[in-house]
Structure 1
Amino acid sequence: MLRVRSLLYRSAGVWMLLLASICGPAVAQSGPLTMRGEQDTRIQQGIDLIYQLQLDEAALYFEQIIDADPDNPLGHFFRAMVGWWRVLIDLEDTRHDEEFYRLLQACIDVCDRRLEVDPDDFDAILFKGGAIGFRGRLRGDRGQFVRAARDGLRCLPLLDKSRSLEPTNKDILFGQGIYNYFAEVIPKRYPIVRPVMLFLHKGDRQLGLTQLRDVAEGGRYARAEARYFLAQIHKVFEVDHLRALPYLEDLHHQYPDNALFHRYRARTLVTIGRWGEGVAQYEQVVERSRRAAPGYHTRGLIEALFYIGKDAYRRRDDAMVIDSMTQVEVLSVSLGEDLETQAARGYTSLANLYWGMVLDMAGHRSEAMERYDRVLRLPAQGKSHTLARRYRLDPFERGRSGRAGPQLPSPSSGPTRSPGS
């Protein structure tokens, strides 16, 4: 009964928000929802719910828009974006994939029906291209690079046509910028997609970056997504963490409850050596994870505890190292029995390595050997296996030649994937 009452209150709250926005004084916002014309606060309010990870509220918001106008693809597209963020907040969890694909297909179907009536329907063209593009984005995250490239082949003409219909709409540059950047970069990193790319327009890395920056600065609804992509690009592909940080700080300040922006900002800070600031952010991640705030999950907690422990190692606070890395190990086991799952993108392996090193320095050789054995059972992360074998033969001592410690984790990432998300 309490669950039903909570849902009713939540639904009523979303209805009030939606009605308030629809009944507002702006004349430009009194008609059907569209991506044409001036910015519509009704759309932005729903988008803000998504980025603040109020996903249940956002789903209700856009479902009510769909109920009011079921033939408008806008509601269907942004309802699918709620599904996308359910996927994105923990990319290792594939349980939401099929629902996301279903929501995208519902949007595509609505667009197709409208395009049968009017082949130049701007919203239908734009949202069909966007839906296919996001489908390709997840396929890329799942390692389905050929299928992702084929989706690029399908959506590019739609993006080009939408641009010709609305040449001043900067949000359209978002999809074009992504295409131009990755069409040049991805074939170099993933040769398997090169045959498919022969059928596509040649990419332009620099043009793609310029277009994404234009959207990040002057887009209507895609500003946040453009900043997020620029952060990903600068971290993963350009390997320029200093350029990535301002985008992440802006996103986290605008959406302080977004767990993904929070962790991504923290990781970037420690990567560039601003450990005090980064660890302070990670301590907030731990606190929010402990109270199960939306978007904060076990894998994110493992990441935060690892970096807190790594910082303690730097400061020679061995008790804190053991405490943090012990928590990482306990949490990793809670993820499941599969060792790949327990590895948590490499954090568990390196946590056990640091733990063993500190135990070695304290003279607890047998306990240290247990940690090194655990490292060797887990999938290798960087030089984790090499170092574990070395320290099994020769106990670790801080400061000796060749004993700089393990390589930090480098979470695997696909062409559009948020590293370690």
Structure 2
Amino acid sequence: MDGPMLVIPIRHCGRGICFSFSGAKATKPLLIVFVSLLATATLARAAARPQNFEAEQIKVAQQGLNILMNGNTETAGKVFQKIQSDDPDSALGYLMEANALWWEIYITTGNLIDPDVFVVSSGSTSPYDARFNKLVDTAIAKARANRNAKRDVARNNLYEGMAYGLRGRLASMRGSNLAAARAGKQMRSLLITAVHQDRNLRDAYAGIGLYDYFVDTLPTIVKLLRWMIGLPGGSRERGLHEIEYAAKYGELTRGEALYYLAKDYSRTNERQYAKSLELFGQLSSQYPGNGLWKLMVGSLKIRTGHPQEGEALYREVLNQERGKESAAAKSLYKAAQKAVERRHPNEHIQ
């Protein structure tokens, strides 16, 4: 993929707390044997694949991601399951299906119309959580097995890092700050390793950028966590640059990186609403089937003093999602309904 290279500094972690698990000794030899056997089998199957097989699977994943970003999580999930069937040793299909489930979780449990849309009650769960966690665990295991088999080590560092990023997203939504921080730290380490092994893996910068941005802009709790687990520091400015880079040049993260960049610009600490509107407008144009983008634009229109335009977009979402049976469509409809009724308390929308 064409595009300039982005170079980031590597910083050593500072002071942290070490943990030991004495009970792990008994199972370690068995684990080593299991991973070694899995890696050997993976290597044997990898030798039988066509040389361009991975590139073809990435193209299929991109098709699924376009479907996902256009609002059809269920169909996207089936595309990603096909990748699993075609290449059961690869982490890619499991990683992508987990990503589709994360969007399903986000849309059905997140706050879709207020500024900080990731805020949900810490006790919230969804029917998708168990499957999501299983897919993330599987993606991590597959990536590690492939690395042990010396199969595309850099790319499998990328996939494992992206899987930890997904784990951190859900932990953050659930209010589990320590779990989110640990997952983010692991994600960052793997993604930095991936891009230093192969600078063409530009998708890594989506996760690295999110880490750099949020560690530098989140509240006091992050400072405490930095001391507890040796969490490396970040940089708001560098983070925004890295996310933008992934939005331009990534293979698997372009749409999502564009979303996060737009969302970051809309945060109250940024207030760069014109940039945010432009980026959400791009998402709405590229993926017109996804009512989420219209909700985002409508919210921003109202916050920037254009209530009539914002309300018109909310009503577009009502019309677009009305009568659809999917859980995501129903959640988008309810969010738009809530937004309109908030502005017109006497109007009851069915």
Superposition TM-score, scaled by structure 1 size: 0.62
Q: Is the 8 A contact 1:72 1:110 kept in 2?
A: yes
Residues 272-315 of structure 1, C-alpha deviations (whole Å, 9 max, x = no match): 122222111111122233312642225x4444234434555xxx
1:323 paired to 2:347: yes
1:212 paired to 2:243: yes
Q: Is the 8 A contact 1:114 1:124 kept in 2?
A: yes
Q: What is the match of residue 297 of structure 1?
A: 330
Partner SS, residue 70 of structure 1 = coil
Residue 287 (structure 2) aligned to one of 226, 230, 255: 255
Number of matched pairs: 285
Q: What is the match of residue 5 of structure 1?
A: none
Residues 170-210 of structure 1, C-alpha deviations (whole Å, 9 max, x = no match): 2221111111111211254655534346x132211110111
User: In structure 1, what residue type is equivalent to 2:64?
Assistant: G
Gap change, CA 1:116 and 1:277, over 3 Å in 2 = same
Gap change, CA 1:204 and 1:56, over 3 Å in 2 = same
Q: What is the match of residue 80 of structure 1?
A: 98
* Unpaired segments ≥5 residues, structure 1: 1-28, 313-320, 332-421
**Distance in 1 of aligned mates of 2:146 and 2:200:** 23
Q: What is the match of residue 262 of structure 2?
A: 231
Larger deviation, residues 148-157 vs 234-243:
234-243
User: In structure 2, what residue type is equivalent to 1:73?
Assistant: A
**Distance in 2 of aligned mates of 1:82 and 1:116:** 27
Q: Is the 8 A contact 1:177 1:207 kept in 2?
A: yes
Alignment of 1:57-136 (within 5 A): 57-92=75-110, 94-118=126-150, 121-136=153-168
Q: What is the match of residue 143 of structure 1?
A: 175
Q: What is the Cα-based RMSD across aligned positions, in Å?
A: 2.5
User: In structure 2, what residue type is equivalent to 1:32?
Assistant: F
Q: Is the 8 A contact 1:62 1:75 kept in 2?
A: yes
Partner SS, residue 297 of structure 1 = helix
Q: What is the match of residue 25 of structure 2?
A: none
* Unpaired segments ≥5 residues, structure 2: 1-49, 111-124
User: In structure 1, what residue type is equivalent to 2:320?
Assistant: R
How far off is 1:254 after superposition? 0.7
User: In structure 2, what residue type is equivalent to 1:31?
Assistant: N
**Relative CO higher for 1 or 2, CA cutoff 8 Å, sep ≥ 6?**
2
Q: What is the match of residue 69 of structure 2?
A: 51
Q: What is the match of residue 54 of structure 2?
A: 33
Q: What is the match of residue 231 of structure 2?
A: 200
Decide which structure has the larger Cα Rg and report it: 1
User: In structure 2, what residue type is equivalent to 1:174?
Assistant: A
Q: Is the 8 A contact 1:187 1:193 kept in 2?
A: no
Superposition TM-score, scaled by structure 2 size: 0.74
How far off is 1:41 after superposition? 3.3
How far off is 1:223 after superposition? 1.4
Partner SS, residue 108 of structure 2 = coil
Percent identity of the aligned residues?
26
Q: Is the 8 A contact 1:34 1:74 kept in 2?
A: no
Q: Is the 8 A contact 1:275 1:311 kept in 2?
A: no
